[in-house]
Amino acid sequence: MRLRAPISAADRYLAGALFVVLLLAAWTAATWGTAEERFISPAVLGSPMEVATSFKSLWFERALTRNLAQSIWRVLQGFGLSILVGVPVGVLCGTFPRFNAFLAPLSVFGRNVPISALVPLTLIWFGIDELQKVMFIFVATVMFVVFDVARAVLGVDEKYVQTARTLGASNPQVLLKVLVPLSFPEIFGSLRLLFGIAFGYIILAEMVNMTGGLGALILTSQRRGPMEHVYLVLVIITLVAYGIDRTLFALSRWLFPYREAA
């Protein structure tokens, strides 16, 4: 087999399906039989069938749709604010090296501080209500947005800038008609990936002050049971995040058909 050889879409899906089948087989084997016969206690991990059949109680008794909608809405607000602030700032950083150097310490801090450390900070700054969860997403993601946008703008080939200069373009024209349009496909791709990360971050914030959301649902199920709900919510989070990612991927392919997306 040749290193890094491309594979067909059918082979890619087949390999992924094989992994899922093997995972389910191992899961079933570890949870087969009565509670005494199982390799893993049912108090820790239920069988695939037990997890699947708990969906009805999760849907009706734990208000799955309401909690899911709450989590998505919080991410949309927090990450939307990150886009509103981070994209313009990132464009300026990618355009003006002095401004980029000025914000470099904040960028280093924002991209390297442990995410869990932001939870108590945002609780101090914004209280324990809904605002804290939204601002947690904003604080956790805004510097990543700034960094990725700046990198996308810096990645625009200098020949396009020089061509615009030769044609008499001013600085604002170079910025708005060359740098921003040419970097936008890369910016969109970065925002798509960062949105998925933000969707994972909100789970952490929702576990602190349990006022709804998937994070609160996980913690409630862990404390009060059944444990099957914990695993089911994790599967749902994965499927929803994947669905959002594929939707944004399709939008990217439609907006930028000339760009090879990943």
Helix, coil or strand: residue 203: helix
Distance of alpha carbon 22 from alpha carbon 107, whole angstroms: 42
Closest listed residue to residue 113, CA positions, set 148, 134, 140, 85: 140
262 neighbors 245 (Cβ within 8 angstroms): no
Any idea how long the chain is?
A: 262
The pLDDT, as a whole number, for residue 107 is 83
Does a structural domain hold residue 27? no
Parent domain of 93: 62-255
pTM score, two decimals?
0.82
**Structural domain contains residue 260:** no
What amino acid is encoded at 214 in this protein?
Answer: L
178 in any annotated domain: yes
Q: Domain count of the chain?
A: 1
Residue bearing tokens 């442990």 = 114
Alpha carbon separation from 183 to 23, 161, 176, 250, 259 (Å, rounded):
40, 12, 11, 19, 12
Is residue 156, in this structure, part of any structural domain at all?
A: yes
Look at residues 210, 198, 183 and name the one whose alpha carbon lies nearest to residue 241: 198
Q: Answer whether 216's CB lies under 8 Å from 42's CB.
A: no
- Tokens at residue 85, please? 């602030």
Residue 102 lies in a domain: yes
3 within domain boundaries: no
Q: Each residue of 36-61: b (16+ CB within 10 Å) or e?
A: eebeeeeeebbbbebbeebeeebeee
Alpha-carbon dihedral 20, 23, 25, 31, rounded to 10 degrees: -140
pLDDT in tens for each of the 262 residues of the chain?
Answer: 577 778 888 888 898 899 999 998 998 888 888 777 778 777 788 888 888 888 888 887 788 889 899 999 999 999 999 999 999 999 999 888 899 899 888 888 888 888 888 888 888 888 888 899 999 999 999 999 999 999 999 888 888 888 888 888 888 888 888 888 888 889 998 999 999 889 888 888 888 776 788 888 888 888 887 888 888 888 888 888 889 889 988 888 888 887 654 4
**Is 83 domain-assigned?**
yes
Contact call for residues 186 and 168 (beta carbons, < 8 A): no
**Domain containing 166 — which CATH number?**
1.10.3720.10
* Within a domain: 12: no
Helices then strands, each counted (H, E), the chain:
12, 0
